[in-house]
Structure 1
Amino acid sequence: MTTTTPHLLRKLGDIEHFSSSRHHLGIYRCVTISARHQHPPSSSSHLTSTSPSPSFIAALAHVVRHQPMLRVGIAGDDSNDAHFTHVSSIDLRDHISVTLIPCHSSQEYEDRVAQQQGWEHDQKFTDIAVRPPWRISILRPSSDVPELQDIEDVFFAFHHALMDGTSGRLFHEMLLAAPSYHGTASSPNPIEADPILSFPDPPSLPESQEQGLDFSLSWSYTLRTLWTELGPSFLKPAKQPIWNATPIDFSLPYKTRVKTIDYSPEQLETLLSACRSHAVTLTALLHSLVLTSLTKRIPSAEAAPAFAAATPLSLRPYLSPTKSDPAHASSLRCLVAGCTHHFSPQAVAALRATDANVNSLIWKNAQHVKAELAEKQAKIPKDDIMGLLKYISDWFAFWRGRDGKQRADSWEISNIGVFKNPSSPRTDAQADSTEGKEQVGIPRATRLLFTNGAMVAGPPMGINVVSVKGSKFTIGLSWQDRVVEDELMEWLAEDLTAFAVRFQETGDSFV
């Protein structure tokens, strides 16, 4: 006798419930990270097909077998008692789609990639109790344009309760490093290419965030935070007004817009060198450049008297050596915290002044962000808001209570670091054994694009960044349609592009 009742594993942790409830309400649906694969010409014949290659299926199978969060579902996501479930069989073909894109220019294809990235964010996962909530879409340009030869873009979209952005980058690294991408054309491994995977035994899951970290909360921090959130407004000083687009509105259609910006390796190196000399991080500099752009593009002090921004932080470095299982040190999972930055009316007015030394102010504001990030990171995991999530007993009431309220931030910058392509795994002996045979070669990533979906109850715009070592640094801008004007996002993209171009040309000036 068979049963359709899923086998429950552990209960979702606090940050996992945070994401599970948002997905169920439709106010945040997935994270998406796409990777552009450049294939050696000798192994690119499959790029004219609408099916994934056997080597891709085998590589994906390898990753899924080794990553437990890719083979679980979520039961009870409409409740505050959601659980991960054991999915005993996965047909990878149900998780992959391939589309050929006719295009006449590189820009036409880039626009299609950005459109696909936004589309991924707008889809809700279905049947997630019995089907792992992640998917892969592959776009292949059908074109004679030289720049588009031998490439495909692989989109990995996943439920945020399964993992975070850093894990999404690691997934792509694992995929390209999987053994099936290596070998010779005459010796494929048909067993590895089987798309139907069986997992009769429940997986061992990584601990939830609060189980793997030593969060500690002082009474002063706890009371201060609860007072800020729950205290009656008439007893608290008025909050500093900030620009935050429109109020949170659950009734608006969920549609994510995406725009991309690429910095060349030379532009990136010039910026990184300048960051080192000014003792700031690239993330801190980007916050300052976004502030500079928005201050100029929204010149009204009444409309934008001040700004606030957020930076998600990875908690992987802070896992407790006694509470976390070392077997899951490299597991894909969700481990995130955040830091908030406030840009005062005085800081904004200084940028708007007719005699402003904008370049000097850019570095000053970047140092302000760097100092806040350093202070935050020095405290983790003490007195962090993530340690207070356990006090939220009803996530659905929490989110619905945000509907109609002002947003707390103006933007968010999430930096998931540097993607490293795998080196060839062949040893000298293996090279000798394959001498004279056709080498399939190893596909390599030349660009990653990372975006958040529209954050209905969060910042009005996301600025997400990732780089490929030795290749492009890519900024993914995302926003909800009708929440932020398209014109403003176009201006922001123009400014972020122009800042990098100007700085590379001059070596010391953004404007």
Structure 2
Amino acid sequence: MLSLDLYRSSMLTCRFAVPATLLPVESYTKLQQTVESAISRILLEHPLLRVGLRGEHSRMPAFVELDAVDFSRHIEWRHLDGGKDYDIELEALIKRRLNIKVEQPETAPAWRILILSIESGGFIDIIWEWGHSHADGISAKTFHEDMLRHLNGNNNSVPEEFNPETRILTIPLARQRDLLPSLHSLCDFPVGIGFTLATLWNEFKPAVLQAKSKVELRAAWAPLRPGHYASEYRHFGISHIALQNIITACRVHRTTLTGLLQALAHASLACRLSDEQARAFRGSTIVNWRPLMRRALNEKAKAEVRDVDLVRTMGNYMTTVDHVFDEEWVTKIRTASVINDSSHRALKHSEDKRCEPEEYFKDQEMVERRMLALQSLIWPVAKTVRGDLVKRLDEGTKNDQMGLMKFISDFRALLKERLEKPRSHSVAVSNIGVIDGKAPSSLSDIKNSVEGASDAFTGANSRWSIDKSIFSISSEVHGAALGACLVAAKDGELYVSCGWQENAVSTDLGGGLTGGLGVVAKVLRTGSGPMSIAPRFAVPI
């Protein structure tokens, strides 16, 4: 994707609370050395963070192990003006960075880090950016959790392999042959004849032979436009208290946050697009392979990775699961929404005399009324999405698209062919869960924390912690029209981000959908209105 300019960057931003001893201006050099020493330890632990990519534009690219990594080429420190609204500036910066391609040369790994600080902020924001040839969202989560582990570790000395003056990490010979085999070499991906034929036929059959029902699921309202890459981006936070209300409601309705977001996003699209533009939708969810890898290992691999923690191994270990939002459901959503909107419009007209249509989507009361009217349709579909994911996990690696990769001799050619077809998916959701960013209580042993210990005993202000996380992905020219990402820091806010291709999805549509989700999050934060009556009615959008 990177080599064809169909995608530019992924990033996970984490806000690290800095110990008081490293906050003074005169300690800035020490702060830099401490952070970069922690990064060097992470690189020594994770082989894919220290490989280049040979033959990026070829049919058979390959990883190349490096002798050294130059941090001056990958890590930038930047101090921002504390007088501006920093969080607004951060969101704008993330958007700009998402549009800058992560290079994947043969001589350096495909990642970069931007570290931000502000005057008297008491924190640094570490933005880890990567390309999907080397890593995925769970890898980024592991990176930041490992960063916290090393920063709070007992050994704060500079690793002998890292020179803080030259900022070069030298890879020892003993570490240059510890790259894991490919996923296909590690795990078995059995596929049945029926699954294989159906998938290959659906992928390669002529467009004129596409079944009517299949065409209706495609996102033709968001045309594929290669050649001019530009990602739009928005994000918002949901308070920890509001998040707990949402999770409680999900449990009552036997679904998850991912299932609910899929249902809400597609309900919002149904309300914003006409029947002529979209009669039904297909969404997708990113699924992490790691929990399934151990039971899918072949006999040879079991011996090779006996001592490897596969759950915390970095790499691109993911697949996708599709969800169908059929024509009947979309029609019901639109019908219920029109009835509710007409009633609200008449009320607003009598009160305000004039109200523009777009204002209805921004009106907190309007969005709340709509979701109350639609919740009987949203929750069952959210439950179905969860069922799709459970089924995939229960089946393990059987009948997954990964098992068909052996039939693809040229992935670049496959992606180019996809650019000739209508867009297949409307919304893709990637939820990497909760980052454990709490500083251990025990000063002597971070693995054996002292529960309930007071700050006075533990010296909490001398420990690092992660207080905030934001997960962001640039748009994919050939992928879903909109991409939604979720992550939360433990006991902190949940951040939801949304990205889309500038010239394929209008700002009114993408920004309106994201804004609608944020409006109900605001309702949940205030705890006002009929949605706060009971957990089963705490429906976000």
Fold shared by both chains (TM-score > 0.5):
yes
Q: Percent identity?
A: 26
Rounded Cα–Cα distance in structure 2 between residues aligned with 1:362 and 1:203: 51
Rounded Cα–Cα distance in structure 2 between residues aligned with 1:489 and 1:212: 39
1:111 equivalenced with 2:88 (yes/no): yes
Are the aligned partners of 1:38 and 1:152 in contact in 2 as well (CA < 8 Å)?
yes
| Partner in structure 2 of residue 306 of structure 1 | 280
> Is the alpha carbon distance of 1:374 and 1:198 closer, same or farther for their aligned partners in structure 2, counting shifts above 3 Å?
same
Are the aligned partners of 1:416 and 1:466 in contact in 2 as well (CA < 8 Å)?
yes
TM-score by length of 2: 0.81
Match of 1:484 among 505, 511, 530: 505
Q: Whose helix fraction is larger, Structure 1's or Structure 2's?
A: 2
Match of 2:145 among 173, 179, 194: 173
Name the amino acid aligned to 1:25: L
Rounded Cα–Cα distance in structure 2 between residues aligned with 1:160 and 1:47: 38
Rounded Cα–Cα distance in structure 2 between residues aligned with 1:47 and 1:286: 46
> Is the alpha carbon distance of 1:244 and 1:471 closer, same or farther for their aligned partners in structure 2, counting shifts above 3 Å?
farther
| Partner in structure 2 of residue 35 of structure 1 | 14
| Partner in structure 2 of residue 90 of structure 1 | 69
CA deviation vs aligned residue, 1:471-508 (integer Å, no higher than 9, x gap): 11111111122222122222212211223343554131
Match of 1:335 among 317, 333, 356: 317
| Partner in structure 2 of residue 251 of structure 1 | 227
Rounded Cα–Cα distance in structure 1 between residues aligned with 2:25 and 2:406: 49
Rounded Cα–Cα distance in structure 2 between residues aligned with 1:234 and 1:244: 15
Rounded Cα–Cα distance in structure 1 between residues aligned with 2:26 and 2:508: 36
1:510 equivalenced with 2:536 (yes/no): no
Q: Shift in Å at residue 127 of structure 1?
A: 6.4
CA deviation vs aligned residue, 1:155-182 (integer Å, no higher than 9, x gap): 101121111111111100001110x445
Name the amino acid aligned to 2:18: H
| Partner in structure 1 of residue 424 of structure 2 | 408
Are the aligned partners of 2:225 and 2:503 in contact in 1 as well (CA < 8 Å)?
no
| Partner in structure 2 of residue 423 of structure 1 | 440
1:133 equivalenced with 2:110 (yes/no): yes
Greater mean deviation of Cα atoms: 492-501 or 364-373: 492-501
| Partner in structure 2 of residue 315 of structure 1 | 289
Query: Structure 2 regions of 5+ residues with no counterpart?
Result: 341-372, 450-455
Match of 2:270 among 247, 270, 295: 295
Greater mean deviation of Cα atoms: 133-142 or 76-85: 133-142
Q: Shift in Å at residue 428 of structure 1?
A: 7.4
Q: Shift in Å at residue 442 of structure 1?
A: 2.1
Rounded Cα–Cα distance in structure 2 between residues aligned with 1:501 and 1:437: 36
Rounded Cα–Cα distance in structure 1 between residues aligned with 2:270 and 2:436: 35
| Partner in structure 1 of residue 98 of structure 2 | 121
Name the amino acid aligned to 1:383: N
Are the aligned partners of 2:113 and 2:126 in contact in 1 as well (CA < 8 Å)?
yes
TM-score by length of 1: 0.86
| Partner in structure 1 of residue 367 of structure 2 | none
Are the aligned partners of 1:183 and 1:440 in contact in 2 as well (CA < 8 Å)?
no
The count of aligned residue pairs is 475
1:282 equivalenced with 2:257 (yes/no): yes
Rounded Cα–Cα distance in structure 1 between residues aligned with 2:11 and 2:39: 17
Rounded Cα–Cα distance in structure 1 between residues aligned with 2:321 and 2:118: 39
| Partner in structure 1 of residue 354 of structure 2 | none
CA deviation vs aligned residue, 1:395-421 (integer Å, no higher than 9, x gap): 221122122421100010000111002
Are the aligned partners of 1:134 and 1:156 in contact in 2 as well (CA < 8 Å)?
yes
| Partner in structure 2 of residue 11 of structure 1 | none
CA deviation vs aligned residue, 1:293-345 (integer Å, no higher than 9, x gap): 222222x1111221111101001011134435133323211111110111111
1:206 equivalenced with 2:180 (yes/no): yes
Are the aligned partners of 1:52 and 1:98 in contact in 2 as well (CA < 8 Å)?
no
Q: Shift in Å at residue 100 of structure 1?
A: 1.8
Query: Structure 1 regions of 5+ residues with no counterpart?
Result: 1-21
1:261 equivalenced with 2:236 (yes/no): yes
| Partner in structure 2 of residue 197 of structure 1 | 169
1:100 equivalenced with 2:79 (yes/no): yes
Q: Shift in Å at residue 73 of structure 1?
A: 0.6
SS at match of 2:244: helix
